[in-house]
Structure 1
Amino acid sequence: MMDIDDVQVMPIEGSILMRMLRYVKPHTKILIVAFFVLILATGANVLGPILIKVFIDNYLVLHRFPYVPLLLLGATYLGLNIATALFNFTQLLLFQKVALLIISQLRIDVFNKVQQLGLSYFDRTPSGMLVSRITNDTESIKDMYVSVMSTFVQNIVLLIGIYISMFFLNRQLALFCVVLAPIIVAIMALYRHFSSRIFHLARHRLSLLNAKLSESLQGMYVVQAMSQENRLRAEFEKINHAYRSARIRNIKFNSLLLRPLIDSLYLLALILVLGFFGLHSFVARVNLGVLYAFISYLDQFFEPVNQMMFRLNSFQQAMVSSHRVFHLLDEDELAPVKEGDQLPSITEGEICFEDVSFSYDGKTDVLKHISFSAKPGQTIALVGHTGSGKSSTANLLMRFYPVVRGRITVDGVDLRQFSDEELRKKIGLVLQDPFVFVGDITSNIRLGNTDITDEKVRQAAQFVQADTFIEKLANKYEEPLGERGATLSSGQRQLLAFARTMARDPKILVLDEATASVDTETEEAIQDALLRMRQGRTTIAIAHRLSTIQDADLILVLHNGEVVERGTHQELLVHQGLYHKMYLLQQGGRAVPENYMGA
């Protein structure tokens, strides 16, 4: 398990913020309208204290109460408040609409990026941590656009309006309030500096929490079968406690540096303003309306400051999340893609491995100098103990990993020159543990390929004899399937995978322990289907049960990543090497007759 505190604190560069702002560009027109409405709302808002100042100085203090002017003044004040509410509603709606459009696009970009990553990236990255980046981190960025940016824009515009009104009332005091701006900016910078590690740590621990949750859910059968509930509960509790501790540290930090500090600054400013007017009253007359308006503006000045300070919490989380998301978007460990400008096609299915070596980590070779050829229509079987390199050989043929040392060709053309579409269409893969998507039987066989009609779906199912169990289902081919096909048996899921592969009529078949999850009765029922599947197709069959590959044209015996034996079933038995020992083990240790010619 990853260290709970093993987190690298990355500096939040201005480039991250600029990159986030690039997502705003497609919505410039809406934002211009929103900004214009925001200016109107701000203007209506800051004019309120000016009207009250006029009422106090021109009417209240002088004890003058003319009906018509006061009625107009009151109606104007009421109209400004109504206009402020309407303008604020409109600009808030527009800003948040843009924010949701932006985050929707960002989520799509992240999801598309994940689809393009190479399997080597997933080998070393827990799926739960990826889920955390796609969900929790993008949700935090959504808050950045929905609440933080809109709040900052609104309040900055409001502060500018307040400054203009202050200068209109009293230049000296307005200049004093200008001095407050750099102090507030310094406080914000101080907050961001000290809170950065706390947010990084909290996000890291939340990722670990999601990873542990994902692992527990995916392995629930093993968890319950092996009585691992207490152990996993303890591990989950440890990570959850660490995440809670990080969040508490964040709350303590916010409680100290946000509201109390700004409130103290506000009280200091209020004392200075009142002191200024108090001293001024000894030498000249003080307009009460101006005093009221200034105190009102001072209060309005610090309210948006407080809002921005509170939003700094969300801002800091969003910047940390943005760094994590953009780090994922910038990941260059992509799945291998086509090289060159040619567009070759797979027509025959001839496969050739030429001195291929491979390592997952760049240090330890799992394949060493693998060479073999498979003629069109031949079946090549790969056998060997766990970790011998069988699945790695198939992974390279499927181009899940790049071939760096050696060369693989199909029909004499380097594997790297084929397009992904050509490879996935012409090479069919059936895994030991087939994946079933949420949907129904038909959608799981078709997998979104519109070229596969309902008739082809039924023909493929009949070809592999999957129609035997499908016809018994309540809704037949429209039978709904849950996550991972939990309502089907392992054998039924395997048959569904066979039908899915055959519906595409591939030239090459890769069977990775394709019958390992099938019971003996079902295995016997699909052997004929496998024989028909292999007719006219080059087949690479990874097998644990040696009985399923005795008729292979060539059997390669792998050990520690090397081909140590090769030949037909009969030739390898006569050789009495590793294959012979494996066969004896599966036969219960019985000796093989000298004149044995195969089952």
Structure 2
Amino acid sequence: MADAKPDKKSEPQKKTALEDDVVGKAYDGRLMRRLLTYLRPYKLQAILSAFAIIFKAGSDVAGPWLVKVAVDTYMTRTPYEKLGWLARHLNRNPLAGIAQIGALYLASLFITFGLEFLQTYMMQWTGQKIMFDLRSQIFRHLQRMSPAFFDRNPVGRLVTRVTSDVDALNEMFTSGVLAIFEDVFVLSFIVIIMLRMSWPLALLAVSVIPIILYATRIFRRYVRDSYRRQRAATARINSFTQEYVSGMSVVQLFNRERRAFHDFSQVNAENKKAWTDAIFAYALYYPIVEFLSSTAIALIIWFGGWAVLRNEAALSGRIEGIFGTVTLGVLIAFIQYAQRFFRPIQDLSDKYNILQAAMAASERVFKLLDTQSEIVSPANPIPGNNSGRIEFRNVWFTYQKLDDAQRARIATATEEDLRTFADIEWVLMGVSFVIEPDETAAIVGHTGAGKTTITALMMRFYDIQHGSILVDDVDVRQQDLTKLRQRFGVVLQDPFLFTGTIADNVRLGSSWITDERLQRACDDVNIGDFIRTLPGKFNEPVQERGATLSTGQKQLISFARALAHSPRILILDEATSSVDTDTELRVRLALSRMITGRTSILIAHRLSTIQSADTILVMHKGHLRERGTHQELLSHRGLYWKLYQLQYKDQEPGAETAAFQPLSAD
């Protein structure tokens, strides 16, 4: 098959269900209060970090002030009475005094280092704890969601919630909120010191702030849109990659590598474009801020230096004028403070983006956590009698997500009315039947007839819209979900194995399954001998989705899993349709042991595998059309008879092999 050229129809949609990105506000008090609840268990660490930030801000601004003291005390002839309190306590000998100031400067650096270490370690440790708690909560929440939720939400989007969005919240806790407070404290201390030294020069230093704020506003707006597009593109990349990596064999089989690469390149290009726009904004913004800050420093040097030079009282090293008392030490300190003043302003822009990304991420995470499962256990569950009896009473079901008006119409509608609802695509329509305890029932019908849906409704993966389903003589909606599903064992057409060992995949966390029980279950389904030939035997590692095992081997392990849990009701959904003949013979040998003493439900297209069932349900377009034993249905010459003729029209009567009959070892 030739590799087709990409066309416009193959382009991924610009707006899909994946894009539930929330632009949000830079700060949302409601979300922040909810986020801070995750900080509550670690409030001691947060308090220590807050104190460390306050004291660190103070030690950060001490350096220029110490330089000012050193210059005015020992390098100019400032009168003694004009010196500050620290200068009056220093040694009058210049060498000794400067050594004392140097020691104080070094001490402030060590204090800054210690406080920085304490604050960084505490908040990084707290951030990891919060990430652990939040990811655990999200995963627990996902486990409680019904299958309908996963039908509507792609895996890539849910993975993004657990990974990227939680990472954004971690960055807020570790580098966002407290760092913003640090910048605010540093700015406040610098402004206070500058105003005390010379308020005219201080006003000169901050004169460029309005221009910087205007540039910052434009920058934030531009980067905000860029970050939103980045998050949306990242979600699409995650979903696209997950889907195509999972289906890579199909892509290669049909030679669709070029088309898939073209589609991925489009999504990847959107992400690159968003990042490029953000890079351009940063490349423009930071030079602007740097230029304005340098302009402010130049003004300080110009006017401050002019004030010093204009000082006629040169011997005193000071001048009284419009700039007040400006000494050489004050001028040097102002230059250093001005350089430090604009760093937090630049830093605040980054923190603004971190905070905004965290707000958007928190809104998406909380939206997920606030999504209630459509299937929940009742407040006062009614236990079943564990008989294994299953009954459907006039069941109507659709996979559509119905609104309140549609549900209200269904609640009061008659059966004839339900058939006339053109806006509802029914999957099951008025289905009623009973499967008695320890009976083996088979469900047959064309693809899409509703066979698998029936078994999913028994385990209450979905709620029906009309009628009732009874398991063990109690409506499934009145039973505890965990206990209800514990009574079922299911083997699907496509077996799913998890990363771990073979024993782990059979137990699935059920610690009560002993090694003897596990091995007996594997022997009963004729997979035990194969497992014992492996190097690790029952502890043999299993890769993702059982990549190192054949389809038949995975299917037999699934049989062992169901048998080891000793379910009261066994469901086999096309369990032998994808296995080879030898494996099918092994499965048939095991089936007679598996169905003994329990209610069994078989879904099969191969009629040869269900001929010995106690009752056969024939589904057609959502209706239960026929019911009876194999011979009864053939004698009626109805839909089942037609299906049988399609499969065996070229075979002699009786050529088929009856299921569940013990086969010889030969």
Q: If the TM-score is normalised by the length of the shorter chain, which range does it land in? A: over 0.9
Residue 125 (structure 1) aligns with: 153
Q: Which secondary structure state, in structure 1, belongs to the residue aligned with residue 427 of structure 2? A: strand
Letter in 1 for 2:263: E
Query: Which has the larger displacement, 305-314 or 35-44?
Result: 305-314
Counterpart amino acid of residue 537 in structure 1:
R
Letter in 1 for 2:113: A
Q: Whole-Å Cα distance in 1 between the matches of residues 496 and 34 of structure 2?
A: 37
| Contact map agreement 1:570 1:598 (CA 8 A) in 2 | no
Deviation, structure 1 residue 383: 0.7
Q: Is 1:28 the counterpart of 2:43 in the alignment? A: yes
SS in 2 for 1:153: helix
2:179 matches 1:151: yes
User: Which among 550, 555, 567 is matched to residue 494 of structure 1?
Assistant: 555
User: How many angstroms does 1:346 deviate by?
Assistant: 4.5
Contact 2:384 2:474 in 1 (8 A): no
- 1:304 is aligned to 2:344: yes
Q: 3-state SS of the aligned residue for 1:336?
A: coil
- Does 1:425 find its partner at 2:486? yes
Q: What is aligned with 1:259?
A: 286
Does the 8 A contact of 1:429 with 1:509 survive in 2?
yes
Contact 2:385 2:473 in 1 (8 A): no
Counting aligned pairs with the same residue, the percent is: 39
Q: Which amino acid aligns with 1:105?
A: D
Matched, 1:92 2:92: no
- 1:410 is aligned, of 459, 462, 471, to 471
> Which amino acid in the other structure matches residue 397 of structure 1?
M
Deviation at residue 319 of structure 1 after TM alignment = 3.2
What is the SS of the residue equivalent to 2:275?
A: helix
Query: Residue type of the partner of 1:369?
Result: G
Task: Pick the aligned partner of 1:443 from 496, 504, 508.
Answer: 504
The aligned amino acid for 2:161 is: R
- Aligned partner of 2:329 in structure 1 is 289
Aligned counterpart for 1:336 among listed residues 375, 381, 386: 375
Q: Which residue of 1 aligns with 2:13?
A: 3
Report SS of the residue matched to 1:403: coil
382-391 or 9-18: which moved more?
A: 9-18
Alignment of 1:353-392 (within 5 A): 353-362=392-401, 363-392=424-453
Letter in 2 for 1:47: A
More off after superposition, 362-371 vs 63-72: 63-72
8 Å contact 2:50–2:178 — kept in the other structure? no
What's the offset of the Cα at 1:341?
A: 0.8
RMSD (Å) for aligned C-alpha atoms: 2.6
> What is the CA deviation profile of residues 382-433 of structure 1, one whole-angstrom value per residue up to 9, with x for unaligned ones?
1111111111111111111122321111122110122222122211111111
Which moved further from structure 2: 312-321 or 384-393?
A: 312-321
Structure 2, gaps ≥5 residues long:
1-10, 79-91, 311-319, 402-423, 660-666
Q: Does 1:215 align with 2:251?
A: no
Q: How far off its partner does 1:174 sit?
A: 4.2
User: Closer, same or farther in 2 for the Cα pair 1:475/1:584, shift >3 Å?
Assistant: same
Q: Tell me the number of residue pairs that the alignment of Structure 1 and Structure 2 aligns.
A: 595
Judged with a 3 Å threshold, the aligned counterparts in structure 2 of structure 1 residues 310 and 370 are, in CA distance, closer, same or farther, namely same
Structure with max Cα Rg: 2
Q: Name 2:234's counterpart in structure 1.
A: 206
Residue 30 of structure 1 and its aligned partner are, at CA, apart by: 0.8
- Equivalent position amino acid for 2:547 in 1: A
CA 1:382 to 1:57, structure 2 compared with 1: closer, same or farther past 3 Å?
same
- Decide whether the 8 Å contact of 1:203 with 1:321 is kept in 2: no
Distance 1:189 1:28 in 2: 33
Contact 1:570 / 1:597 at 8 angstroms: preserved in 2? no
C-alpha displacement of 1:513: 0.9
Aligned residue identity for 1:125: N
**Structure 1: 5+ residue runs without aligned partners?**
none
1:67 aligns with 2:95: yes
TM-score relative to the length of structure 1: 0.93
* Rounded Cα–Cα distance in structure 1 between residues aligned with 2:296 and 2:457: 70
Residue of structure 2 aligned with 1:324, choices 358, 364, 372:
364
Instruction: Select between 439-448 and 247-256 the one with higher mean Cα deviation.
Output: 247-256
- For 1:250, the equivalent position in structure 2 comes to 278
Q: 2:394 is aligned with what amino acid?
A: D
**Mean Cα displacement is larger for which, 149-158 or 235-244?**
149-158
Whole-Å separation in 1 of the counterparts to 2:156 and 2:524: 38
Alignment partners' CA distance in 2, 1:91 and 1:212: 39
| Deviation larger for 499-508 or 341-350 | 341-350
Q: What corresponds to 2:624 in structure 1?
A: 563
Instruction: Quote the offset at 1:298 in angstroms.
Output: 1.5
Q: Distance in 2 between matches of 1:422 and 1:269?
A: 72
CA contact (8 A) 1:199 1:316 kept: no
Does structure 1 residue 510 correspond to structure 2 residue 537? no
Aligned to 1:577: 638
